[in-house]
Amino acid sequence: MRGLAVAASLVAISAGFAIAKDMTMNSQTHEYTGLWVTGDGHIRHQLLPNGRYVEARGTREKAYQGRYLVTGNHIDYWDDTGFTADGEFIQDVLHHAGMVLRRRK
């Protein structure tokens, strides 16, 4: 019986990952799509409407990339390498990992 419970848990976890992965195929509707930049321009987050992001650092245009999910004013990032992070949008400013990014228009 215990083996069945473990197997059921693994199936549920796998289903959760499949749902999260599938979300990258769908567009997100939120007001934060676009380019977010630190004051010195060194860090740049491009939030794409398909739920993907690209982070540039200095001259490295694709330093990091992965998927993201915006819920209200909160953003969660899942880098393609497995790294996770999050942030908050406060008065049209993105606070992420000790950085302050502003929308570039």
91 — pLDDT class (breaks 50, 70, 90)? very high
DSSP letters, 41-105, are S-EEEEE-TTSEEEEEETTEEEEEEEEEEEETTEEEEEETTS-EEEEEEETTEEEETTEEEEEE-
Give the alpha-carbon dihedral of 39, 42, 47, 48, to 10 degrees: 130
Determine the pLDDT at residue 1: 52
pLDDT for 29 equals 79
3-state class of 78 per DSSP?
strand
**Contact of 53 with 44, CB cutoff 8 Å:** no
How do residues 8-45 score in pLDDT, each as one tens digit?
Answer: 444 444 444 444 444 444 567 799 999 999 999 999 99
- DSSP-derived letter for residue 9 is H
State the pLDDT at residue 28. 73
Predicted local distance difference test score (pLDDT) of residue 18? 43
Q: Which tokens in the block code for residue 17? A: 């990952």
pTM: 0.73
- pLDDT per residue over 45-81, tens digit each? 999 999 999 999 999 999 999 999 999 999 999 999 9
Q: Rounded distance, CA 98 to CA 87, Å? A: 9
